[in-house]
């Protein structure tokens, strides 16, 4: 009965709240085990030294020993002393400190969690801001590129408009010189001062300035040639003659609406006529001689760079009995000693 005192004290301590619940449960379990052991010992009490005294004869000694071994029990009972008020206070203080430490650790963990969340939110916000900044910058760069392209297109259009305006102004303000060519008399068979046999023709060139600016350094040039099998296009003749090197040096000045006339003596070598194929003309007994006169007027306009040109080309024909234009037949005697004129229309090229 003495061992039951701690359990009763433990129960009282639990009821009073001074003992830890787990320790009280442990003490109660040990008390129950002790009570069970004590009841078994009273039912079969051991003798001195833990053994029964023999009561039978010597033949029953083995059974008696077995009975003693079977009924003898050793029970170890560990009884913890009841906690003192000081130990309970220390236990409560320890638990309080552990709870405070756990709360502090939890607080630190929540602080770290909060800081991590703030950093995560800041990172996400920074990423969103960076994306928005990149998109706005890309749009700005694209808009700037489109603006630059539009500016270049506008500048090109303005330059083209300025060029057209300047060209229109130049065309309106520059000098425009026309040329009218006529023959003076017939072809004349003569020799040059070098003894070259051929035909001379006097050509009168009348020029007029139709523009608003004077034509300066005016120079006229004129030649007589023959159409042949490989040269029958007046347009090609005119363009080729326009590309001949221009005269360098001072020339005449033709003011607006003024007329300037000049005479040219052109020469056609007899050798050029003799080199014409005998069947040129397509008929038997007929040798086509087709001379043409090509001329050029070169001039300049103040305020405009370069040289301007007016080029003309006319076929030379003989005048028939009824005033019609006819070709020359080189097989006729004195074919050149007839009335002749420059055929109309001619070809004129102006720059």
Statement to judge: residues 109 and 230 lie in one domain: no
Statement to judge: residues 230 and 284 lie in one domain: yes
Higher-confidence position of 41 and 329: 329
Percent of residues, the chain, with pLDDT higher than 90: 16
- Distance from C-alpha of 187 to C-alpha of 328, rounded to nearest angstrom: 12
Q: Which domain does 108 fall in, by range? A: 86-173
Statement to judge: residues 245 and 195 lie in one domain: yes
Statement to judge: residues 259 and 330 lie in one domain: yes
Task: Choose the final residue of a domain: 37, 54, 83.
Answer: 83
Task: Choose the final residue of a domain: 110, 142, 173.
Answer: 173
- Residue 10 pLDDT > 80: no
Instruction: State residue 96's pLDDT score.
Output: 81
Instruction: State residue 38's pLDDT score.
Output: 61
Instruction: State residue 62's pLDDT score.
Output: 46
Statement to judge: residues 257 and 183 lie in one domain: yes
Instruction: State residue 263's pLDDT score.
Output: 93
Statement to judge: residues 220 and 320 lie in one domain: yes
Statement to judge: residues 292 and 326 lie in one domain: yes
- Distance from C-alpha of 98 to C-alpha of 104, rounded to nearest angstrom: 10
Secondary structure of the chain in HEC code, one letter for each residue: CCCHHHHHHHHHHHHHCCCCHHHHHHHHHHHHHHHHHHHHHHHCCCCHHHCCCCCCCHHHHHHHHHHHHHHCCCCCCCCCCCCCHHHHHHHHHHHHHHHHHHHHHHHHHHHHHHHHHHHHHHHHHHHHHHHHHHHHHHHHHHHHHHHHHHHHHHHHHHHHHHHHHHHHHHHHHCCCEEEEEEEEEEEEEEECCCCCEEEEEEEEEEEEECCCCCEEEEEEEEEEEECECCECCHHHHHHHHHCCCCCCCCCEEECCCCEEEEEEEEEEEHHHHHCCCCCCCCCCCCCEECEEEEEEEEEECCCCCCCEEEEEEEEEEEECCCCCEECEECCCCCCCCCCEEECCCCEEEEC
pLDDT in tens, 53-92: 444 444 444 444 444 444 444 445 455 555 666 667 777 7
User: Which residues are within 8 A (CB) of 10 and not within 5 positions of it... i.e. 6 or more apart?
Assistant: 19, 23, 24, 27, 28, 31, 82
Domain count for the chain: 3
Statement to judge: residues 272 and 321 lie in one domain: yes
- Residue 112 pLDDT > 90: no
Instruction: State residue 278's pLDDT score.
Output: 62
pLDDT in tens, 256-306: 999 999 999 999 998 888 887 665 555 666 778 888 898 899 999 888 888
Statement to judge: residues 165 and 203 lie in one domain: no
Task: Choose the final residue of a domain: 173, 201, 233.
Answer: 173
Higher-confidence position of 265 and 19: 265
Output the pTM of the full model.
Answer: 0.53
| Stated length of the chain | 351
- Residue 254 pLDDT > 90: yes
Statement to judge: residues 105 and 185 lie in one domain: no
Instruction: State residue 166's pLDDT score.
Output: 81
Instruction: State residue 35's pLDDT score.
Output: 66
pLDDT mean over 314-329? 86
Instruction: State residue 86's pLDDT score.
Output: 67
Instruction: State residue 25's pLDDT score.
Output: 60
pLDDT in tens, 145-178: 888 888 888 888 889 888 888 878 778 888 999 9
Statement to judge: residues 203 and 335 lie in one domain: yes
Strands 215-226 vs 291-300: parallel, antiparallel or unpaired: antiparallel
Statement to judge: residues 247 and 340 lie in one domain: yes
pLDDT in tens, 201-226: 999 999 999 999 999 999 998 989 88
pLDDT band at 230 (very low <50, low <70, confident <90, very high): low
Instruction: State residue 228's pLDDT score.
Output: 67
Instruction: State residue 28's pLDDT score.
Output: 63
Instruction: State residue 168's pLDDT score.
Output: 82
Instruction: State residue 206's pLDDT score.
Output: 93
């Amino acid at each position: 009965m003495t061992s039951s005192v701690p359990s009763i004290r433990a129960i009282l301590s639990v009821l009073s709240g001074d003992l830890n619940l787990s320790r009280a449960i442990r003490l109660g379990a040990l008390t129950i085990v002790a009570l069970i052991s004590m009841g078994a010992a009273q039912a079969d009490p051991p003798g001195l030294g833990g053994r029964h005294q023999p009561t039978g004869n010597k033949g029953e000694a083995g059974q008696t020993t077995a009975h003693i071994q079977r009924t003898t029990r050793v029970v170890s009972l560990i009884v913890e002393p009841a906690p003192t008020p000081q130990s309970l206070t220390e236990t409560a203080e320890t638990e309080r400190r552990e709870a405070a430490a756990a709360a502090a650790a939890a607080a630190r963990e929540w602080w770290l969690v909060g800081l991590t969340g703030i950093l995560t939110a800041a990172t996400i916000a920074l990423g969103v801001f960076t994306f928005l900044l990149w998109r706005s910058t890309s749009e700005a760069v694209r808009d700037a590129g489109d603006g630059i392209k539009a500016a270049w297109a506008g500048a090109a259009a303005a330059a083209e408009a300025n060029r057209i305006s300047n060209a229109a102004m130049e065309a309106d303000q520059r000098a425009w010189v026309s040329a009218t060519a006529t023959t003076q008399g017939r072809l004349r068979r003569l020799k040059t001062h070098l003894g070259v046999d051929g035909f001379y023709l006097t050509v009168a060139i009348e020029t007029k300035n139709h523009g608003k600016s004077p034509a300066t350094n005016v120079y006229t040039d004129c030649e007589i040639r023959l159409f042949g099998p490989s040269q029958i296009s007046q347009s090609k003749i005119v363009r080729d003659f326009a590309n001949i090197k221009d005269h360098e040096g001072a020339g005449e000045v033709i003011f607006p609406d003024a007329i300037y006339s000049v005479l040219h003596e052109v020469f056609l070598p007899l050798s050029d006529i003799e080199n014409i194929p005998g069947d040129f003309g397509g008929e038997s007994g007929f040798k086509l001689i087709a001379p043409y006169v090509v001329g050029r007027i070169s001039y300049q306009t103040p305020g405009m760079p370069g040289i301007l040109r007016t080029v003309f080309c006319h076929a030379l024909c003989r005048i028939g009995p009824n005033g019609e234009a006819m070709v020359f037949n080189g097989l006729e005697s004195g074919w050149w000693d007839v009335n002749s004129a420059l055929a109309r229309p001619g070809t004129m090229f102006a720059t």
